[in-house]
Copies of this chain bind each other. A is one copy, B any other.
Protein backbone atom coordinates (compact mmCIF):
# COMPACT_ATOMS: atom_id res chain seq x y z
CA UNK A 1 0.00 0.00 0.00
CA UNK A 2 1.52 3.26 -1.08
CA UNK A 3 -1.29 5.19 0.60
CA UNK A 4 -0.06 5.28 4.17
CA UNK A 5 2.66 7.60 5.37
CA UNK A 6 1.84 10.35 2.93
CA UNK A 7 1.24 13.91 3.95
CA UNK A 8 -2.25 13.30 5.07
CA UNK A 9 -2.49 9.55 5.35
CA UNK A 10 -5.53 8.90 3.25
CA UNK A 11 -7.04 12.15 2.18
CA UNK A 12 -9.19 10.59 -0.51
CA UNK A 13 -11.28 8.61 1.93
CA UNK A 14 -11.23 11.42 4.48
CA UNK A 15 -12.85 13.66 1.89
CA UNK A 16 -15.49 11.08 1.07
CA UNK A 17 -16.27 10.70 4.77
CA UNK A 18 -16.52 14.46 5.24
CA UNK A 19 -18.77 14.70 2.19
CA UNK A 20 -21.04 12.01 3.61
CA UNK A 21 -21.40 13.82 6.91
CA UNK A 22 -22.15 17.10 5.19
CA UNK A 23 -24.61 15.57 2.73
CA UNK A 24 -26.43 13.97 5.62
CA UNK A 25 -26.58 17.28 7.49
CA UNK A 26 -27.32 19.75 4.73
CA UNK A 27 -28.68 17.76 1.86
CA UNK A 28 -27.02 17.12 -1.48
CA UNK A 29 -27.27 20.68 -2.81
CA UNK A 30 -26.27 22.23 0.50
CA UNK A 31 -23.03 20.29 0.38
CA UNK A 32 -19.94 22.25 -0.64
CA UNK A 33 -16.56 21.04 -1.73
CA UNK A 34 -14.84 23.76 0.27
CA UNK A 35 -16.49 22.72 3.49
CA UNK A 36 -15.61 19.07 2.94
CA UNK A 37 -11.98 20.09 2.39
CA UNK A 38 -11.99 22.21 5.52
CA UNK A 39 -13.44 19.37 7.56
CA UNK A 40 -10.68 17.09 6.31
CA UNK A 41 -8.15 19.74 7.41
CA UNK A 42 -7.05 20.62 3.92
CA UNK A 43 -7.21 23.39 1.33
CA UNK A 44 -10.04 23.19 -1.24
CA UNK A 45 -7.44 22.91 -4.00
CA UNK A 46 -6.16 19.67 -2.50
CA UNK A 47 -9.41 17.98 -3.42
CA UNK A 48 -8.40 18.17 -7.08
CA UNK A 49 -5.53 15.77 -6.46
CA UNK A 50 -8.10 13.05 -5.86
CA UNK A 51 -11.29 14.01 -7.65
CA UNK A 52 -12.23 15.73 -10.87
CA UNK A 53 -14.44 18.14 -8.97
CA UNK A 54 -17.42 18.49 -6.72
CA UNK A 55 -19.67 16.10 -8.64
CA UNK A 56 -17.05 13.40 -8.76
CA UNK A 57 -16.73 13.52 -5.01
CA UNK A 58 -20.46 13.05 -4.55
CA UNK A 59 -20.47 10.25 -7.12
CA UNK A 60 -17.76 8.39 -5.20
CA UNK A 61 -19.76 8.73 -1.99
CA UNK A 62 -22.77 7.30 -3.80
CA UNK A 63 -20.67 4.50 -5.26
CA UNK A 64 -19.47 3.37 -1.87
CA UNK A 65 -23.09 3.45 -0.73
CA UNK A 66 -24.29 1.30 -3.62
CA UNK A 67 -21.53 -1.16 -2.90
CA UNK A 68 -22.58 -1.66 0.71
CA UNK A 69 -26.23 -1.58 -0.26
CA UNK A 70 -25.85 -4.29 -2.87
CA UNK A 71 -23.89 -6.44 -0.46
CA UNK A 72 -26.43 -6.00 2.33
CA UNK A 73 -29.35 -6.84 0.08
CA UNK A 74 -27.64 -9.92 -1.29
CA UNK A 75 -26.65 -11.07 2.16
CA UNK A 76 -30.18 -10.65 3.49
CA UNK A 77 -31.55 -12.52 0.51
CA UNK A 78 -29.09 -15.41 0.61
CA UNK A 79 -29.20 -15.83 4.35
CA UNK A 80 -32.96 -16.39 4.31
CA UNK A 81 -33.01 -18.85 1.46
CA UNK A 82 -34.55 -21.20 0.49
CA UNK A 83 -37.75 -19.59 1.82
CA UNK A 84 -38.95 -17.11 -0.80
CA UNK A 85 -41.11 -15.35 1.75
CA UNK A 86 -38.34 -15.01 4.32
CA UNK A 87 -35.92 -13.75 1.68
CA UNK A 88 -38.38 -11.16 0.49
CA UNK A 89 -39.09 -9.86 3.95
CA UNK A 90 -35.40 -9.81 4.77
CA UNK A 91 -34.52 -7.64 1.78
CA UNK A 92 -37.21 -5.15 2.79
CA UNK A 93 -35.78 -4.99 6.28
CA UNK A 94 -32.26 -4.67 4.90
CA UNK A 95 -33.38 -1.69 2.81
CA UNK A 96 -34.61 0.22 5.82
CA UNK A 97 -31.66 -0.83 7.95
CA UNK A 98 -29.28 0.52 5.33
CA UNK A 99 -31.13 3.84 5.08
CA UNK A 100 -31.09 4.18 8.84
CA UNK A 101 -27.45 3.25 9.33
CA UNK A 102 -25.98 5.17 6.39
CA UNK A 103 -28.18 8.21 5.83
CA UNK A 104 -25.41 10.15 4.09
CA UNK A 105 -24.93 7.36 1.58
CA UNK A 106 -28.67 7.02 1.10
CA UNK A 107 -29.06 10.70 0.27
CA UNK A 108 -26.04 10.66 -2.04
CA UNK A 109 -27.51 7.66 -3.84
CA UNK A 110 -31.16 8.60 -4.13
CA UNK A 111 -31.47 12.35 -3.67
CA UNK A 112 -28.30 13.93 -4.98
CA UNK A 113 -29.32 13.95 -8.61
CA UNK A 114 -26.27 11.85 -9.48
CA UNK A 115 -27.29 9.65 -12.38
CA UNK A 116 -26.74 5.97 -11.99
CA UNK A 117 -25.50 6.00 -15.57
CA UNK A 118 -22.70 8.40 -14.73
CA UNK A 119 -20.24 5.53 -14.68
CA UNK A 120 -20.57 1.85 -15.61
CA UNK A 121 -19.50 1.09 -12.07
CA UNK A 122 -22.48 2.86 -10.55
CA UNK A 123 -24.93 1.31 -13.00
CA UNK A 124 -23.61 -2.16 -12.24
CA UNK A 125 -23.83 -1.82 -8.48
CA UNK A 126 -27.26 -0.24 -8.58
CA UNK A 127 -28.49 -2.99 -10.87
CA UNK A 128 -27.12 -5.61 -8.53
CA UNK A 129 -28.94 -4.17 -5.53
CA UNK A 130 -32.23 -3.65 -7.29
CA UNK A 131 -31.87 -7.00 -9.03
CA UNK A 132 -31.81 -8.75 -5.70
CA UNK A 133 -35.11 -7.20 -4.69
CA UNK A 134 -36.59 -8.16 -8.03
CA UNK A 135 -35.36 -11.71 -7.77
CA UNK A 136 -36.90 -12.03 -4.33
CA UNK A 137 -40.17 -10.67 -5.68
CA UNK A 138 -40.11 -13.06 -8.63
CA UNK A 139 -39.59 -16.13 -6.46
CA UNK A 140 -42.34 -14.98 -4.20
CA UNK A 141 -44.70 -14.45 -7.12
CA UNK A 142 -44.14 -18.03 -8.19
CA UNK A 143 -46.19 -19.11 -5.19
CA UNK A 144 -49.22 -17.21 -6.40
CA UNK A 145 -51.60 -18.82 -8.89
CA UNK A 146 -50.73 -17.34 -12.29
CA UNK A 147 -54.20 -16.00 -13.01
CA UNK A 148 -54.14 -13.69 -10.00
CA UNK A 149 -50.44 -12.98 -9.94
CA UNK A 150 -49.28 -9.41 -10.50
CA UNK A 151 -46.05 -8.96 -12.47
CA UNK A 152 -43.11 -9.50 -10.15
CA UNK A 153 -41.54 -6.21 -11.25
CA UNK A 154 -44.65 -4.54 -9.98
CA UNK A 155 -44.41 -6.27 -6.64
CA UNK A 156 -40.82 -5.16 -6.19
CA UNK A 157 -41.78 -1.62 -7.24
CA UNK A 158 -44.53 -1.56 -4.60
CA UNK A 159 -42.15 -2.64 -1.90
CA UNK A 160 -39.46 -0.26 -3.02
CA UNK A 161 -41.97 2.60 -2.94
CA UNK A 162 -43.16 1.63 0.52
CA UNK A 163 -39.59 1.40 1.80
CA UNK A 164 -38.58 4.71 0.27
CA UNK A 165 -41.71 6.44 1.53
CA UNK A 166 -41.19 5.20 5.07
CA UNK A 167 -37.57 6.33 4.97
CA UNK A 168 -38.34 9.78 3.64
CA UNK A 169 -41.39 10.54 5.71
CA UNK A 170 -40.85 8.74 8.98
CA UNK A 171 -37.24 7.64 9.38
CA UNK A 172 -35.81 11.12 9.01
CA UNK A 173 -36.43 13.96 11.39
CA UNK A 174 -38.30 15.80 8.69
CA UNK A 175 -39.47 19.12 10.01
CA UNK A 176 -42.84 19.26 11.66
CA UNK A 177 -43.62 15.65 10.89
CA UNK A 178 -43.41 13.43 13.89
CA UNK A 179 -43.86 9.75 13.34
CA UNK A 180 -46.60 8.08 15.35
CA UNK A 181 -44.78 4.73 15.08
CA UNK A 182 -41.17 3.58 14.82
CA UNK A 183 -40.30 3.28 11.14
CA UNK A 184 -39.24 -0.35 11.50
CA UNK A 185 -42.63 -1.27 12.88
CA UNK A 186 -44.38 0.75 10.21
CA UNK A 187 -42.51 -0.97 7.41
CA UNK A 188 -42.82 -4.42 8.93
CA UNK A 189 -46.58 -4.10 9.37
CA UNK A 190 -47.05 -2.47 5.97
CA UNK A 191 -45.22 -5.24 4.18
CA UNK A 192 -47.09 -7.79 6.25
CA UNK A 193 -50.47 -6.44 5.21
CA UNK A 194 -49.32 -6.20 1.61
CA UNK A 195 -48.18 -9.84 1.58
CA UNK A 196 -51.47 -10.89 3.05
CA UNK A 197 -53.13 -9.05 0.19
CA UNK A 198 -51.09 -11.13 -2.21
CA UNK A 199 -52.44 -14.23 -0.53
CA UNK A 200 -49.03 -15.33 0.66
CA UNK A 201 -49.62 -15.03 4.34
CA UNK A 202 -52.63 -16.48 6.17
CA UNK A 203 -55.27 -13.79 6.74
CA UNK A 204 -54.95 -14.08 10.49
CA UNK A 205 -51.76 -14.63 12.42
Contact = CB atoms under 8 A, between A and B. Distances in A.
A114 interface: yes
B161 A165 contact: yes
Determine the main DSSP class of A at the interface with B: helix
A150 B116 contact: no
Q: How many residues of A sit at the interface, in one of the four size bands?
A: 35 or more
Given A196-B199, A197-B198, 19 more contacts: A27-B29, A117-B175, A151-B181, A153-B181, A154-B186, A154-B189, A157-B180, A157-B181, A157-B186, A161-B169, A161-B190, A162-B165, A164-B169, A165-B166, A168-B168, A192-B197, A195-B197, A196-B196, A196-B197
Interface of A: 27-30, 113-117, 123, 126, 148, 150-151, 153-154, 157-158, 160-166, 168-170, 175-177, 179-181, 186, 189-190, 192-199, 203-204
